[in-house]
Structure 1
Amino acid sequence: MPRTLTEYRVFIGSPGGLDEERKGFRATIDRFNEVHGNPTGVVFAAVGWEETLGGVGRPQEQINKDLRGCDYAVFVLHDRWGSPTGNGKTSGTEEEWDLALELYAARKIHNICLFFKELAPGKLRNPNRQLAKVLAFKAAIVAAHKHTFKLYAKTKEFCFNLEKHLGHWLRNHAARRSAGVAVALEALDAADRTAQTNKAPSYGYWLGEAKALLGTKKPEDALFCVERALALAATDLDWAEAENVRGIALHHLSDARGAVESFDAIVARLAGTAVLYEQVRLAIALVNKGISLDAFARSDEALVAYTDVVTRFGSRTELALKEQVTAALINKGAALGELRQSRSMTT
């Protein structure tokens, strides 16, 4: 019997040198469709320069046209940046990235994923011009606190994470079709529900949703919401609270490195603060860092984090700080094998 299929188009943008990733991108989507997509009536289609038809005009504009027709975008970078496109951009990937941001802001694209392939240590010591541009782009992403990215070492790791995104997007499709969905899993959904008031979801809304999702053991969905909160954070305190939730979500997704990076980012940003509430956030980040390290069998590093809390705030009398010092001491004892009790992160 004939049936209707829903197709989501997924664009991949990357400079040269990532042929294996591009092949893996298509193979992962094909495999996902076979196992999950076709039975549900929802499929994903890979889109990249390989599918772009030739025509009159600037070649990059033909690729841009395909991107404008996509629902999701995936960008992958390693040690190359690319060459100018003839439109004022330093590379095709840069032009595609900027266009994807415009489409996302206009709610014409659901989500953008960014991946960086890990670099050999020797390359970082003396980066060439191509790599220097990639590093500058990555630094700008980190400084802006508006986008997250995933590091990977091997193509199979990239494909594994891509498949997780596909699964998330498939669940989002089901959520959009279900009546009475309580939690926004996509920016488009949230925009639809608030269109009558012309008011976009606030920082507080996204952060509240992220915490609620953590409470229901849905860290992947919580991560989606907290990334939106991070983009709207207006103060260091707001940003630190959201980044802490992001670290917890990554911890529950077994991404130890990502979780620790989130907690470290808070410590680095608030290290010199004299504001009590920001100091509390710093202490919470250190405790949570220790819990995450300890959970992934890095007890020596966890002890350093717990000791740091005691060193910084052990003599303070404010209740909020004393609570974190107490938590650090208890967890430190557990890490040393002196205590055996459950530990939970603080949001």
Structure 2
Amino acid sequence: MSLTLRVKEAGSWKGVRLVPYDIKRAPSKGLHPWLVDFETKMLRAESCFVAARKLRDEGFTPDVIVAHPGWGEPMFLRDLWPTARIGLYCELYYSNRDNDVGFDPEFPKTDQETDTIRLRLKNMNNMMHRGVADLGISPTKFQAGTYPEDWQKVISVIHDGIDTNVVKPNADASFELEGGRVLTREDEVITFVNRNLEPYRGYHVFMRALPKLLRERPNAQVLIVGGDEVSYGAAPPKGRTWKQIYIDEVRGKIATPDWERVHFLGKVPYDRFLSMLQITRAHVYLTYPFVLSWSLIESMAIGAPIVASDTAPLQEVITHGETGRLFPFFDGDRMVDEISLVLDDAQMRAGMGKAARAFAVEGYDLESRCLPRQLAWIDQLFDMPAGDVTV
């Protein structure tokens, strides 16, 4: 059974009963700003509690509950079903040290002291779930490592998994641009991917390096994937997008013929996304010390030559000179140097791509690695004594 906000009508999906619920209570007006974040979690937790209580009163008692606590929903499920074993997806524990907050000096904290307090309060939701979980699961060591030590004792690091039978190299791949030009592996293609183009994923660093990159690589075609919204971090000034802000910043430094080699693709269908990675000669990826994008593991599985920022999440998967090349996050000149090094050395590209795919298959393949570990984690929950909360 799945209790979910994602559907409006009760039904089933692949044998799973879908039970919808909604959020009826509106956010408070005039609430202290430090409490707004927690109230959004509380509203969801209350709504989930009401829907779950109805199921309980109808006689439903789960043996195991698996939930993502990031939006608050499972906060009170232990109160309803004290004997259920509960496993939580532990995505991130907020911190003001060695993490994304305060990492980028271009976006400083507005007030060091109050921002530290606000961030600690942002963990109220995480702290409320410490008495709920029997076990936790995190997709990367970096994410698990953000949690307090008592959490880490019960968190298993198991990635969601990549279908490496689908996400794989294809020597015959091609990618058609708007206007009809078709790119293949014979072209010098550089790729950059964000869900949304924004500083958290280094879009500003990449854009500021574009003038030098285009000058030094006169045959390169640069493909940029990502939307105009905000996934993480601060919103841009009202009425503007991060995408356009950094285009405006660099456009005057780039001659029109060179600018015509830069292609903003927006959000692309998955098959085109894979084709693009299959033809790239240098895939560039940057991130703050934050959740690692799944696209990075997909690019490794495809065997793409990777040039990436030397930030903590990358250090877990990229070994410099073996499965990719690393550079300091804010050093756009070094990034361009690394890209050129990769583009000029076909043997290096082939070796890194082969090693990256082997690494992805060995540690992140869905069918052979991640799914069996996930199922074993579920079995571990089932085998625990009922109501034996360890967190």
> Under a length normalisation based on structure 2, what TM-score does the superposition of the two structures give?
0.28
> Under a length normalisation based on structure 1, what TM-score does the superposition of the two structures give?
0.30
Q: Which has the higher contact order (CA 8 A, sep 6+)?
A: 2
When you count strand as a share of all residues, which structure comes out higher? 2
